Amino acid sequence: MTTTTLRPPVRQPGHRADRPSRGHRAAALWKASPLTWVGLVLGVILSLFPFYWMIVIASRTNDAANSWPPPFLPGGKLGENIERVLANGDANVLKGLMNSFLVSGTITVATVFFGSLAGFAFAKLRFKGKNALLLIILASMMVPIQLGVLPLYILMAKLEWLNTMPSVTVPFLIGGFGIFMMRQYAEQAVPNELIEAARVDGCSTWRIYWHVVAPALRPAAAVLGLLTFMEQWNQFFWPFVVLADPANPTVQISLRSLNTAYFADNSQIFAGTLIATLPLFVIFVLFGRQIIGGIMEGAVKS
Amino acid sequence: MSLDLHADAPPDGRRPRSTRAESRRRLSLTRADLKYSPYLYVLPFFVLFAIFGAYPIAYTVWIALTDRSPLNPTISFVGLDNFVELLTNDPQFWNAVVNTFGMFAMSTVPQLLIALMLANALNRRLPAQTFFRMAIAMPIITSTAVVALIFSMIYAREFGLVNWALDLVGIDPIDWRANRFASWFAISTMVDWRWIGYNALIYLAAMQSISKDMYEAASLDGASRRRQFWSITVPQLRPTIIFTLIISTIGGLQLFTEPLLFTSGAGGISGGSEGQFQTITMYLLDVMNTRFRWGYAGAVALVLFLLIAFMSVVNYLLARRISSDK
């Protein structure tokens, strides 16, 4: 069961060989025309404006946020608004932040570990039924979570996991995306000769994984980890279903609680969105290239 | 200290002697390792998938054939009654279907077209190209919940940014939640804002793998840049366009968070005063958690899934035809 927003395309094995490697990629043919520049600058402004607007409103009093004309410059109330959000007992934003770190972190570690193990098996080991099992994994990525939401909810109730973190963690510990991505990478990053040589030296399969394969998979593991963390941090649908009790939310669900107040306090809501976005913003600033590289790598098909 | 190139060999060249029985045991261990390790490594996925994926799906099929509800003391088998009611006698469901498809079409077409244009622009010789890529991609770090809340305020009836901009050019303010098409438009822009950059990056990656020779040959033949874009770039991107179309279809038909949070207050699940922006997924939760008709909700889930599968096939066939006409 997955609801990946970032899905891998179905790639043909061996496609990398037909592609020029990064170093040899030729420069673009044409210079950007003035019209192209206008489009690009407009695109950048539209992409970034909502982030700026988030800061503007989060740093204003609510009265100033709801004024005419709307404010366009940041004010000085950011710290105050953040304090108000964190003190808001209905939303439990602090609890939500901690829960989100815990849930997303656990899933990220598990996905990278199980994904690399299974990806290694599918790429480099021989076993009966391999192709059929891989097909099941691919098919599992196509199924939306809504299809099984009701029995899953009943199951969570029976396990007494409703309103607890295992309900949003355990089902997502490993998904098809992680396995598939690791398999694609392992196929070209780990030479068969290396594995055979390790076998001849008497290495067990586990030792081969740990000492030969895992180090080679590190770049892909980093990208998978980043994408998984982002995706899990931003989950909304399933947590909304199973974490109905506002006392124990993830951060996205506490945003919802901020919004359901009778009187919508926009500066507080925006301070909340800022808090919920900040961790990913930091990750993006630090690892933006890898994230973009991961999306672009994952997209190229033969 | 000398460099030890064979770290695995015992340091002083002395191998531990093994008896025959020991080596036989080791051999069979190795065999078991070769035979069973792969299954062990893929096992975690299949255990989780069986419990939290396959079982709920199979159970949904069963539930949909019953009148199960936490309010019913007994569960009875009702056959296809739920489906018959859903398809023939449930205007609210059809309202949700129309809304979902309306917003899906309204968001997907501009989303992919703009992404294609942006990718084409990013594929030029540019200074600071990393900056441009990162700026365009940045919306993907926000959650749909955050997007919905920010745009809710941008589309506020009073003091909203869009209405303020409309006022500047002399257009009367629009009540973005009350009017059906206005609400669809507002929600579509939320979806597009978050996903255009992502799709643009995917197109850019595919564009960079198109051979430059084709463009050079076309230039020599006197083809304009626009002509080259439509006659070389777009057809070459066909598999990628199909991929993004299918991803957008799966995402678009599951639309949930943006319309839910477009209404502040507790009544979000009904999608506006007259359900003008209630989607199928919202309706599913409405049936499940407010009306407690679990069997019926199972039927809604199955029909939603069939719609997604059907639309994916339609998109695939359409995209294949459009591009091969070129």
- B191: nearest Cα among B112, B301, B300: B112
Chain B contact present for A139, CB below 8 A: no
- Which pLDDT band, with edges at 50, 70 and 90, does B216 fall under? confident
Q: What is the pLDDT of residue B125?
A: 86
Question: What is the distance between the alpha carbons of residues A55 and A148, in angstroms, rounded to a whole number?
Answer: 38
- Min Cα distance B180 → chain A (Å) is 22
Residue type present at position A187: E
Nearest to A68 among B37, B141, B159 (CB): B159
Tell me the mean pLDDT in the region B39-58: 95
Chain A contact present for B134, CB below 8 A: yes
Q: What is the pLDDT of residue B316?
A: 83
Question: What is the distance between the alpha carbons of residues A116 and A210, in angstroms, rounded to a whole number?
Answer: 10
- Which pLDDT band, with edges at 50, 70 and 90, does B18 fall under? low
Q: What is the pLDDT of residue A179?
A: 95
Chain B contact present for A38, CB below 8 A: no
Question: What is the distance between the alpha carbons of residues B309 and B212, in angstroms, rounded to a whole number?
Answer: 37
Q: What is the pLDDT of residue A302?
A: 28
Below-70 pLDDT ranges, chain A? 1-29, 261-262, 298-302
Instruction: Report whether pLDDT(B324) > 60.
Output: no
Tell me the mean pLDDT in the region B101-130: 93
Q: What is the pLDDT of residue B26?
A: 77
pLDDT in tens, A28-79: 667 888 888 999 999 999 999 999 999 999 999 888 877 778 888 888 889 9
Q: What is the pLDDT of residue B23?
A: 80
pLDDT in tens, B127-159: 888 899 999 999 999 999 999 999 999 998 888
Contact B145 A276 (CB under 8 A): yes
Tell me the mean pLDDT in the region B20-28: 78
Does residue A65 contact residue A223 with C-beta atoms inside 8 Å? no
Chain A contact present for B306, CB below 8 A: no
Query: Which class is domain B90-325?
Result: mainly alpha
- Helices B180-208 and B129-137: crossing angle in degrees, nearest 10, is 150
Show which of residues 82-111 on chain B sit within 8 Å of chain A, judged by CB atoms: none
Residue type present at position B277: F
Chain B contact present for A28, CB below 8 A: yes
Q: What is the pLDDT of residue B305?
A: 94
- Is the pTM value of this prediction over 0.95? no
Q: What is the pLDDT of residue A8?
A: 45
A3, A10, A147, A182: best mutation site toward chain B, by most B Cβ within 10 Å?
A147
Does residue A255 contact residue A85 with C-beta atoms inside 8 Å? no
Does residue A32 contact residue B124 with C-beta atoms inside 8 Å? yes
Distant-in-sequence, close-in-space partners of B195: CB < 8 Å, separation ≥ 6 = B111, B115, B139, B140, B248, B251
Fill in the DSSP letter of residue B66. B
More confident residue, A31 or B83: B83
Q: What is the pLDDT of residue A72?
A: 85
Show which of residues 55-84 on chain A sit within 8 Å of chain B, judged by CB atoms: 57, 65-70
B27, B82, B132, B143: best mutation site toward chain A, by most A Cβ within 10 Å?
B143
- B87: nearest Cα among B248, B302, B326: B302
Own/partner long-range contacts of A231-235 (Cβ < 8 Å, ≥24 apart):
A231/A4, A231/A5, A231/A6, A232/A103, A232/A104, A232/A107, A232/A108, A232/A172, A233/A100, A233/A104, A233/A279, A233/A280, A233/B143, A234/A5, A234/A280, A234/B142, A234/B143, A234/B144, A234/B145, A235/A3, A235/A168, A235/B143
Chain B contact present for A231, CB below 8 A: no
Q: What is the pLDDT of residue A129?
A: 94
> In chain A, whose CA is at the least distance from the CA of B262?
A259
Q: What is the pLDDT of residue A294?
A: 83
Q: What is the pLDDT of residue A293?
A: 85
Q: Which residue has the tokens 């020599």?
A: B220
Q: What is the pLDDT of residue B16?
A: 56
- Of B8-17, B100-109, B137-146, B163-172, the one with minimum mean pLDDT is B8-17
Q: Does the complex come out with an ipTM higher than 0.90?
A: no
Q: What is the pLDDT of residue A286?
A: 93
Q: What is the pLDDT of residue B2?
A: 42
Phi, psi of A26 (to 5 degrees): -70, 150
Show which of residues 189-208 on chain A sit within 8 Å of chain B, judged by CB atoms: 201-202, 204-206
Tell me the mean pLDDT in the region B306-312: 92
Show which of residues 8-27 on chain B sit within 8 Å of chain A, judged by CB atoms: 8
